[in-house]
RNA sequence: UGGUCCAUGGUGUAACUGGCAACACGUCUGAUUUUGGUUCAGAAGAGUCCAGGUUCGAGCCCUGGUGGACCAACCA
């Protein structure tokens, strides 16, 4: 439950303000309006969580409306997938609507517009119309058909509807303002002819309304109070309002459009077009490939609805362009799964371990805690025997001091089993270890309470009994792109940044037998490795697990940091250079807080940057207020560089230097002295 | 050569009518731990893009810059 002290996002502020101004709470209504032309992704989840979240917060209905005004792109498959995803996220829509439900009403309103002289039928080519539209910096010119008699437009529009004309031959346009600074107001298109079957209306219509004409009017029909969309529609708002003005009846609610920034995630792309490209070029295996940022991909990967909803909540909503780090998403899924996932053991990269003093044919049943976070979660059985697999990385002949795992002569615990000590190894001709021989302490059994069982050892390993193990395929995923923001490079295509190693398939992993009964909706933690879930590719007798996300691994991090040298070279290009003077100002401002080496560095970079600044640029800053000492130091330093380069001295300059000499600040004084 | 929007630690967001810049992720310590996980305790990291103004007081208001995003599909 949210309490009143919780901070609001800017949309909630708008709503609170409307409420405070007398807007009745029971008239609040929202909608989520996807076009069924692709699958939903994590960015849509932000919008879904925003709209449905507001619905929950204010007890207001939220419609699911499919914006299906372009039969060339839309398909029933997408409608079904979208509904599945929203329902899976745990939201319930008040009503399922379609823009196509309103085609007749939209048509009637369009006829009304023509009658009032506010719309006309145009018959130019798209090139001609585009040319007349002008540019953002120059006005457009009117269509020669702009003043077509009303009766003629009425007649042509009806015949358009009746299918008398081929696609592209006629259009209905609103008559607004060809000189508007807003391109969307320059006689926008209301209707175009498309001879294609619609997934719901079939061949009933051959003229289809454009987004702008359909969207606001649909909001109005459904009496949506706050129509929330992403920032790129900001420029459409004027048109949204203009269209509403034409049909608005003051006894009804008037919707308002407000815009928020779309959510971007690092190391992936978030546009349907680009995701479709990944699918079509078979870079991924479909929309629900676990590497995709789609809802269905995340679901298959093992993400939970609550993790995604929590992510949306934590990431928040604003109007700023953003790239949210994936680590936040990963945090959300770990936090959820840590509470709920059943702990099991599986070995992905096996090496054989033989316990030489364990009876040859003996098998023991041990018990593994299902979830230490939940004392009531119980235990499950796990068989133990003489020959085991452990992880190859968990053994080193001579591990060194910081290696907490198994090495010759050292003891570790086998999780939920015994303490063992490695004695020797067997190697093949290549020198690869093929078997580790160890002895166990029979008194050290987990949970036995014996003194030996209480003994502290350096580490604990997961393991699996070879003769009881279940074989399975395991798929591990890495980020799909090597660049943090693959589609933000003007000179490069996002596909140039594809990570060639984003999918790693382990054909034969060995899992404890408990997992042979795993079901699709169970979540597991393979202890010490990460979270895993069953993939739909699984067949009876052939299990396939997806790795959702690894556990935090400070050991691996330490290792990569010491072995791998400083990052190869960031693929992120240099930030577009801020102007040198601007940068000097920014560094300068902080100067008074610095000392020692940091101060030296700052001074040096200012002097470096000063080489790119002209005196004329610098002079206005001599007026900087006396209290802004940092900036004045920076300016003084920059001036010094210029004087050295042979800049002529003048009175303004001398006055500025003099004021520096008299300042309280020591750094400023000494900088000024340098110039005398 | 236009219009609109945006600018707060590395990242994402807060900061109500101007009043000690907060939270989360990430990073780094230490403790606990039969997961190098979890948990717990703590630390570092921004003075709010720049300048000027109003004010006792500015992240917030005003003016002027700078930088970024969006806008010219018979797409949504």
Q: Is the CB of A551 under 7 A from strand B?
A: yes
Q: Which of residues 334-353 of A touch strand B (CB under 7 A)?
A: 334-335, 338, 343
Determine the distance between A134 (CA) and B4 (C1') in angstroms.
18
The set of residues, in sequence order, having a beta carbon less than 8 Å from that of A326 and lying 6+ positions away, is A265, A266, A267, A268, A479
User: Using CA atoms, how far apart are residues A62 and A51, in angstroms rounded to an integer?
Assistant: 7
pLDDT value for A561: 58
Q: Which one is catalytic: A83, A262, A492, A589?
A: A262
| pLDDT, tens digit (0-9, with 9 covering 90-100), for A103-131 | 999 999 999 999 999 999 999 999 999 99
Helices marked H in A432-519 — which ranges? 451-454
pLDDT in the model for residue A598: 66
Asked if pLDDT for residue A573 goes beyond 60, the answer is no
Question: Residue A193: which of A65, A34, A71, A67 has the closest Cα?
Answer: A71
Cβ atoms of A186 and A172 within 8 Å: the answer is no
What proportions of chain A, in percent to the nearest 5, are helix, strand and coil?
A: 40, 20, 40
pLDDT at A470 over 60: yes
A599 pLDDT above the threshold of 80: no
Q: How many CB atoms lie within 10 A of CB A534?
A: 21
> Straight-line distance from CA A581 to C1' B35, in Å?
53
List the A148 CA – B76 C1' distance (angstroms). 30
- What pLDDT was estimated at residue A2? 36
On the 0-12 / 13-18 / 19+ scale of CB atoms within 10 A, A671 is buried
Q: Residues A181-215: pLDDT tens digits? A: 999 999 999 999 999 999 999 999 999 999 999 99
The answer to whether the beta carbons of residues A379 and A370 sit under 8 Å apart is yes
b/e map of A598-610 (b: 16 or more CB within 10 Å)? ebeebbeebbebb
Q: What is the predicted pLDDT for the residue at A597?
A: 66
Which residue is nearest nucleotide B74, judged by alpha carbon to C1' distance?
A192
- In this prediction, residue A630 has a pLDDT band, given cuts at 50, 70 and 90, of confident
CA distance A268 to A291: 9
Q: Cβ of residue A323 near strand B, that is under 7 Å?
A: yes
- Region A365-386: mean pLDDT is 96
What does the pLDDT read at residue A259?
97
The mean of the pLDDT values for chain A is 92
pLDDT in tens, A244-303: 999 999 999 999 999 999 999 999 999 999 999 999 999 999 999 999 999 999 999 999
């Amino acid at each position: 439950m949210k309490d009143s002290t919780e901070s609001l996002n800017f949309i909630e502020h708008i709503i609170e303000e409307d409420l405070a101004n007398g807007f009745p709470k029971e008239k609040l209504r929202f909608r989520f309006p996807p076009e069924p032309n692709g699958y939903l992704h994590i960015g849509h989840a932000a919008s879904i969580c925003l709209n449905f979240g507001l619905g929950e917060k204010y007890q207001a209905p939220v419609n699911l409306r499919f914006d299906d005004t372009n039969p060339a792109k839309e398909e029933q498959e997408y409608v079904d997938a979208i509904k599945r995803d929203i329902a899976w996220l745990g939201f319930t829509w008040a009503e399922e609507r379609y823009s196509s439900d309103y085609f007749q009403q939209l048509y009637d309103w369009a006829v009304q517009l023509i009658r009032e002289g506010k719309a006309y039928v145009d018959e130019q080519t798209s090139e001609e119309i585009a040319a007349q539209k002008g540019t953002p910096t120059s006005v457009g010119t009117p269509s020669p058909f702009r003043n077509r008699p009303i009766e003629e437009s009425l007649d042509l529009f009806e015949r358009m509807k009746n299918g008398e004309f081929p696609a592209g031959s006629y259009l209905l346009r609103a008559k607004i303002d060809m000189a508007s600074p807003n391109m969307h107001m320059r006689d926008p298109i209301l209707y175009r002819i498309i001879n294609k079957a619609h997934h719901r209306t079939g061949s009933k219509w051959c003229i289809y309304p454009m987004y702008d004409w359909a969207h606001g009017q649909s909001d109005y029909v459904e009496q949506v109070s706050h129509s929330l969309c992403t920032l790129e529609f900001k420029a459409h708002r004027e048109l949204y309002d203009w269209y509403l003005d034409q049909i608005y009846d003051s006894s009804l609610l008037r919707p308002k459009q407000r815009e928020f920034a779309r959510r971007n995630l690092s190391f992936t792309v978030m546009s349907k077009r680009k995701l479709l490209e990944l699918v079509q070029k078979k870079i991924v295996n479909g929309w629900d490939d676990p590497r995709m940022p789609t809802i269905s991909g995340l679901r298959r990967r093992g993400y939970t609805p609550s993790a995604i909803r929590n992510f949306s909540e934590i990431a928040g909503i604003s109007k700023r362009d953003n790239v949210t780090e994936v680590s936040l998403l990963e945090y959300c899924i770990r936090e959820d799964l840590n509470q709920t996932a059943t702990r099991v053991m599986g070995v992905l990269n096996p090496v054989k371990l033989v316990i030489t003093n364990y009876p040859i044919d003996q098998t023991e049943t041990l018990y593994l805690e299902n979830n230490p976070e939940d004392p009531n979660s119980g235990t499950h059985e796990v068989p133990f025997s003489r020959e085991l697999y452990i992880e190859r990385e968990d053994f080193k002949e001579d591990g060194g001091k910081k290696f907490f795992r198994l090495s010759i002569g050292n003891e570790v615990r086998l999780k939920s089993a015994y303490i063992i000590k490695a004695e020797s190894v067997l190697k093949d001709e290549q020198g690869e270890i093929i078997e580790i021989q160890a002895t166990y302490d029979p008194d050290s059994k987990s949970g036995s309470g014996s003194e030996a069982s209480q003994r502290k050892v350096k580490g604990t390993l997961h393991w699996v009994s070879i003769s009881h193990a279940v074989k399975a395929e395991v798929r591990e995923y890495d980020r799909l792109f090597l660049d943090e923001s693959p589609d933000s490079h003007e000179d490069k295509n996002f596909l140039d940044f594809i990570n060639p190693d984003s999918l790693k398939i382990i054909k034969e992993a060995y899992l404890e037998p408990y997992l042979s009964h795993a079901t699709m909706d169970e979540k597991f933690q393979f202890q010490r490795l990460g979270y895993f879930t069953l993939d739909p590719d699984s067949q009876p007798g052939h299990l396939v697990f997806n790795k959702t996300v690894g556990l935090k691994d400070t050991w691996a991090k330490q290792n990569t940091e010491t072995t791998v040298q400083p990052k190869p070279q960031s693929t992120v290009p240099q930030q577009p250079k801020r102007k040198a003077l601007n940068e000097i100002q920014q560094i300068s401002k902080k100067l008074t807080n610095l000392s020692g080496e940091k101060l030296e560095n700052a001074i040096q970079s200012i002097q470096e940057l000063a080489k790119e600044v002209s005196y004329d640029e610098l002079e206005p800053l001599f007026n900087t207020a006396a209290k802004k000492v940092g900036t004045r130091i920076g300016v003084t330093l920059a001036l010094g560089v210029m004087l050295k380069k042979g800049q002529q001295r003048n009175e303004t300059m001398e006055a500025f230097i003099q004021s520096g000499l008299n300042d309280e600040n020591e750094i400023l004084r000494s900088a000024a002295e340098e110039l005398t």
